[in-house]
Copies of this chain bind each other. A is one copy, B any other.
Amino acid sequence: MNIGHAAKATGISTKMIRYYESIGLISPAHRSQAGYRVYTDDDIHALRFINSARDLGFSVEQMRDLLDLWGDRSRASADVKALALAHAAMLEEKARSLQDMSRTLRHLADNCHGDDRPDCPIIDEFAVAPPPRELRKRQPRFGVAAQVYSPAR
């Protein structure tokens, strides 16, 4: 199976498959005589694993940990569970934070006429509110896959 076929079979683009190989997330594929990458069923299995983990918001580094555990069947269960639960907690925290943002925005919008009058608290409050000396700790500017916990290695 060549890389295009593997991409269709796993939902990961050929670009990303090569990238994952280049960063060592997956082991280098075997090559045909012409130099084409050739994928076995086991490779496909691993790529599907990666695709699922990616859909669940795991970062590449987290996937690396999961794949290590996968390879090390003897100690998989407990560690994987801990990793998954920690990740779930982080996802929930992100979700809460997004909801807070949304609530703030809707609150501002509620006090905005929405007609042609120029005064609108969305604009005014934004500008007026002083940045109080970092009580709100600067969030890592967000991307779901940010590493927030250091996983059990």
Contact = CB atoms under 8 A, between A and B. Distances in A.
Interface of A: 9-11, 45-46, 48-49, 51-57, 66, 69-70, 73-78, 80-82, 84-85, 87-89, 91-92, 94-96, 98-99, 101-102, 104-106, 108-109, 112-120, 122-123, 125-131, 134, 136, 138-139, 141-145
A81 B122 contact: yes
Given A73-B118, A105-B85, A11 B134 contact: yes
Question: How many copies are assembled?
Answer: 2
Contacts of A76: 118, 120, 123
A90 to B, nearest CB: 9
29 contacts: A9-B131, A11-B131, A11-B138, A45-B127, A46-B127, A49-B127, A51-B131, A52-B126, A52-B131, A55-B139, A57-B101, A57-B142, A66-B123, A74-B118, A76-B120, A76-B123, A77-B113, A77-B114, A78-B114, A84-B122, A85-B106, A88-B102, A91-B101, A92-B98, A92-B102, A94-B98, A95-B98, A95-B102, A142-B145
A119 B49 contact: no
A119 B77 contact: yes
A112 B77 contact: yes
A61 B10 CA distance: 34
